Chain A
Amino acid sequence: MNLLKITSGLVGGFALLMSGSLVLAAPPVSEIIERANQASYYAGRDGRSEARMRIEDNRGRTQTRQFSVLRKNVEGSDEQKYLVVFSRPSEFRGTVFLVHKNPAADDDRWLYLPDLDLVRRIAPGDKRTSFVGAHIFYEDISGRNLNEDRHELLEETDQHYVLKSTPKAPGSVEFASFQTWIDKETFLPVRIEYTNAVGEVYRIMENANIEVVDGYPTPMMMRVQDLQSGGNTVVQFRGVSYDLGIPDAVFTERSLRNPPAEWLDRR
């Protein structure tokens, strides 16, 4: 397993070195978006990270969120499990969010409210609404189902594949289309611009400070700008690690009441 990882890493590294000088034919669009999806949301078998968000409104007033995230891919499927444990601000401290993500259907989501010792199941709802008060949408973190949009390759530059995605059900989302700049080396989207019905870009999402962690290129910063309201949210990650062997039992109701310090604490 380890050998495989190292080999693939070396091959990847080689490809990274070479790609600057070689002009390769672009892979099919479906492969680009699939690889981008894998790189963005499925790196490793599992992973942990800590995140803090700075939410700034149009008047420059800021709010902060801080949380730890554990993630595990369900083997042999595109399903995933997430556990998000909040530590800041004090209003959210001890609040825990558990998600069983199922791209083919609605995600199952639970929220634990420590003041009431209450496990609340959350109705599916619109995924393109604020995640805990940020300009980031729930869908930005959990991933958007690739089948909901039609994708075309607009342009290939030295560094990026530039894709345009148009929703198959335009009424279901607030954008008319979005354009994604996918880094050719890491397949991470580094910029996504959302365009409204009148052709204006009103929302920009960016990934930056990409570091290779445990062999997986990982953005350590993310930003979403809401050009309509004038606000933005910056997310910083740290303590990222992959392939820890987190057991399935971590992603169950027990962790809502009794978050698993063993996996949440930084190693």
Chain B
Amino acid sequence: MGAEQLKGLLGAAVMALGLAASPLSADDWAGSGDDWGGDWEDESESRFPFRVGGFIEAAGGMHLYDNKAVDDRIGKNYNLGETRLRLDIDGDWQALGYSLKVDGVADGVDEELRAELREALVSFELGDRTDVRAGRQVLTWGTGDLLFINDLFPKDWQSFLIGRDEDYLKGPSDALRITRYGDEVTLDLVWTPVFNRDNYPDGDRLSYWGQTGGNEFGLTAEPISDNAREPGSFPGDGEVALRLATRQSGVEYALYGYRGFWPQPNDARKTLAGGKLEHPVLHVYGASLRRGMGPGLFNAEVGYYDSRDYDNAGFNAALTPNSEVRILMGYDWELVTNLNVGVQYYLEWTLDHDELEKAFQDMGMKEMAGEEYRQLLTTRLTYTQMRGDLMWSLFAFVSPSDDDFYLRPSVRYRVSDELTVSAGGNLFGGKEDYSFFGQFEKDSNVYLRARYRF
């Protein structure tokens, strides 16, 4: 140690002399560190035993078209108008980590003040190889970009479609996550004691294609959730999601399993007798891979949606969801410097489509059966300027089978470390009013957001 120190001092002294004599390095910039001397962020210097951060964000948006259905329901021609205060608190207490993320929202659309608890979790290690997170948390896995096959954690489609930050597409789960890191294989097990549904378009901000009264169909803003029953009993109505992941010679492989419910209420059998929509039982088995290929990354994912409550008797074939096979493939690369391109192909293959079609035909609505193979192409173009401070982005969903599209142009400017301003749109269109994206044509909107971080 003594020798080390001596040598260090000696070396430093020699070098200091050498450097002082060098016209190349004796520039005074290297001394400028003193200007920001105390500026290192040190955990230990914090006034609290935990860290506090967050942001305040103002967001506003407007419809591009008259949307009579939503106007009639909420009396507004915009679906985003809010100020959001986010507080992030995290810290450690002995071997326990904790994190709390809460949003206070002053919402001009709902005309209310509300608190949204986005995260409230404790985390700890179990032995050398196992991490546990318990509580409210945002969970994500799978390889798709804004397309999800094996990720059945709750999505907030409403936030996504009206122009909130893309992070809000992922809703929180109240869950227990256990991750075991083996030598070769990582195992994730997520148990959600009581089912968490998606926040789907529900008429209060977005209209959709549905029953407008009696047996008429059209654009409507009727609340679906009021007329739906969610699985809510403990522990029978829980969800379990599993992932096994490994990486072999640069290729990432994963297997997935899910036991729970369809995230949106699509069992309409009881509605004929005046009952409610239900979330039928769903099991999903899937796999994915991701690897470098040529100048970019290739990913592929597949899932078998085993719709356990599917009932092929008569009209029920149209009133309960069929089983499906879902496949996606994607490629992501930098086309030219600072321009990134991602393309994806996605396929939803409805099994027993003949039964579905026949049931709809018997109901006199053959076209509502949709295509047996629903196909979707997506592209994500991202162009950055000013070292990333200015980012242009266009995400496009186009479905050749449904003849519809959804475009998400946006631009984001990072004014400073604190202030970011974003603008963009959600533009929908399609040949038919009842197709997946076509039904939201009248919901097309543009938005503006400013976020100040602290």
Contacts and interface: CB of A to CB of B under 8 A. Distances in A.
Interface in B135-151: 137-140
Given A214-B4, A238-B40, A252-B181, A208 B27 contact: yes
Contacts of A191: 24-25
Given A89-B418, A125-B334, A181-B24, A9 B4 contact: yes
Interface of B: 3-4, 7-8, 10-12, 14-15, 18-19, 21-22, 24-25, 27, 29-30, 32-33, 36, 39-41, 53-55, 88, 123, 125, 131, 137-140, 167, 170, 179, 181, 186, 245, 250, 252, 290, 292, 295-297, 332-334, 337-338, 340, 386-389, 414, 416-418, 420, 453-454
A93 B8 contact: no
A256 to B, nearest CB: 11
Given A54-B36, A90-B453, A257-B179, A121 B290 contact: yes
A128 B336 CA distance: 12
A210 B25 CA distance: 10
Nearest to B37: A236
A188 to B, nearest CB: 9
A210 B297 contact: no
A108 B292 contact: yes
Contact of A208 (B25, B125, B389): B25
A87 B21 CA distance: 37
Contact of A253 (B32, B186, B334, B387): B186
- The A interface, classified by DSSP as helix, strand, loop or mixed, is mixed
A124 B334 contact: yes
B53 to A, nearest CB: 4
B415 to A, nearest CB: 9
A135 B388 CA distance: 11
Given A93-B53, A208-B19, A258-B131, 13 more contacts: A116-B140, A117-B139, A123-B296, A123-B297, A124-B296, A130-B388, A133-B388, A185-B15, A190-B19, A210-B15, A217-B11, A221-B30, A253-B181
A185 B12 contact: no
A236 B25 CA distance: 15
Contacts of A17: 10, 14
Contacts, number: 172
A221 B22 contact: no
Interface of A: 6, 9-10, 12-13, 16-17, 20, 50, 52, 54-55, 57, 61, 63-64, 66, 87-91, 93, 106, 108, 115-118, 121-126, 128-130, 132-135, 159-160, 181, 183, 185-186, 190-191, 206-215, 217, 221, 223, 234, 236, 238, 249, 252-254, 257-258
- The B interface, classified by DSSP as helix, strand, loop or mixed, is mixed
Contacts of B296: 123-124
Contacts of B8: 212-215
Contact of A258 (B22, B30, B123, B338): B123
Given A13-B11, A252-B181, A254-B181, A108 B250 contact: yes
Nearest to B97: A258
9 contacts: A10-B7, A52-B36, A89-B453, A125-B340, A160-B24, A210-B19, A217-B11, A223-B30, A234-B32
A133 B390 CA distance: 10
In the complex, the 7 A-B pairs of residues with the closest C-beta atoms, listed nearest first: A130-B387, A208-B30, A125-B334, A89-B417, A212-B11, A90-B53, A126-B337
